[in-house]
Amino acid sequence: MSDTYVCSVCREPTERSYGVRYIVLTCPACGWHGRHVHASLVPLLEQVPESERSDDWEDRPLDERLLEALQRGDITLRDTNV
């Protein structure tokens, strides 16, 4: 069984047999080396109210958005499987 992780920069999916919130690897598509977010967490970022999003929200990598939203309490991971 494998899980899908999404590159924080180009959003290219990568399959791995882990079950964690994010992994660090080099993206085969864009070459960026950093956190790839579990695909199940990406939709949570849409739940962040527009009024709480920073001006550069859409320009920031997914992992930065996720960490910011978690720190501010805009989203929680209680209901996720990872």
Q: What is the pLDDT of residues 11-66, one digit of tens each?
A: 999 999 988 999 999 999 999 999 999 999 999 999 999 999 999 999 999 999 99
Contact 25, 14 (CB under 8 A): yes
Contact 54, 60 (CB under 8 A): yes
Q: Where are the beta strands (DSSP E) in the chain?
A: 3-7, 13-16, 22-26, 33-38
Whole-prediction pTM value?
0.88
Q: Measured between alpha carbons, how far is residue 15 from residues 23, 53, 64 in Å?
A: 11, 29, 21
